[in-house]
Amino acid sequence: MSTLTLYQQNFTSRLLLGTAAYPTMEILRASIEAASPAMITVSLRRQSSDGQAHGQAFWQLLQEMRIPILPNTAGCQSVQEAVTTAQMAREVFETDWVKLELIGDDDTLQPDVFQLVEAASILIKEGFKVLPYCTEDLIACRRLLDAGCEALMPWAAPIGTGLGVVHEYALRVLRERLPDTPLIIDAGLGLPSQATQVIEWGYDAVLLNTAVSRSGNPIDMARAFACAVEAGRLAYEAAPIIPREQAQASTPTVGQPFWHSAEY
């Protein structure tokens, strides 16, 4: 199976995993180990608001896991807020990577694509490797690429809903029209089968949090998603057959046994 390449860096896994809302630190650790993700996402603002004891255990866990960290700007609603949060995260985590979130609606948590492009432009110029959380809108995605983003993270459905793919047509068109751009499905997946589906369409990776952390057994669910993503990529690279409406026999009629002749 081929590797995932983002900003000229290779990753052996095509699964990215969030770190929020796990029942315990032990379950978080075991879930990360089960998933073996390419990166783990961390919200500087939300983690900083946790209790001191919990916070210290969390930071220690990050150091021990030795998995690349992808800070995000979760909760930001303005360009300045997002840029400042990204700059702080770069100092804290010593990384230029950032998942850029800039929310425009409190109910759907839909990204504000207008401010997103502006914030991405600023961060790209400052040397950040920006992974913007965006919608499946083709034009907005093109503007983000024009701003300098080398990969995009369109949603499948609103954050935390577990609905799976809401707009299949738009996501398929996006994949078709941006064939050379790494695309990571971020938000809205609830089942491993949904992850397999988008990877089979040619999406390069998926990012999960709620589907794993709030499941009945996060450890097993993390492992299930890891297997699903791998299966989806293997299927994609194996070149699936093209669906057709007319039946076609898989066994040829030439050379059938004699008892199928007209005499019988």
What digits encode the pLDDT tens for the residues 200-242? 999 999 999 999 999 999 999 999 999 999 999 999 999 988 8
Residue 20 assigned ligand-binding role: no
User: Domain for residue 262, yes or no?
Assistant: no
SS3 content of the chain, % helix, strand, coil (to 5): 45, 15, 40
For residue 7, the tally of other CB atoms under 10 A from its CB is 14
Phi, psi of 84 (to 5 degrees): -65, -40
Determine the structural domain holding residue 217 and report its residue range: 4-237
Lowest-confidence segment of 20-24, 115-119, 144-148, 205-209 by average pLDDT: 20-24
Predicted confidence (pLDDT) at residue 193 exceeds the cutoff of 90: yes
Q: For the chain, what is the domain count?
A: 1
Residue 244: pLDDT band (50, 70, 90) is confident
What strands, in cross-sheet order, belong to the sheet with 153-154?
Answer: 153-154, 129-134, 97-100, 69-72, 39-43, 15-18, 205-208, 184-186
User: Domain for residue 109, yes or no?
Assistant: yes
Residue 10 assigned ligand-binding role: no
Residue 51: pLDDT band (50, 70, 90) is very low
CATH number at residue 24: 3.20.20.70
User: Domain for residue 191, yes or no?
Assistant: yes
User: Domain for residue 185, yes or no?
Assistant: yes
**C-alpha dist (Å) from residue 124 to 25, 103, 190:** 34, 19, 32
Residue 148 assigned ligand-binding role: no
The catalytic position among 42, 72, 79, 99 is 99
User: Domain for residue 260, yes or no?
Assistant: no
User: Domain for residue 255, yes or no?
Assistant: no
Q: Is 129 a catalytic residue?
A: no
The pLDDT of residue 58: 85
For residue 72, the tally of other CB atoms under 10 A from its CB is 28
User: Domain for residue 248, yes or no?
Assistant: no
Residue 187 assigned ligand-binding role: yes
User: Domain for residue 250, yes or no?
Assistant: no
pLDDT digits (tens, 9 = 90+) for 63-93: 888 899 999 999 899 999 999 999 999 999 9
E strand or H helix at 185:
strand 184-186
Stated pTM of the model: 0.89
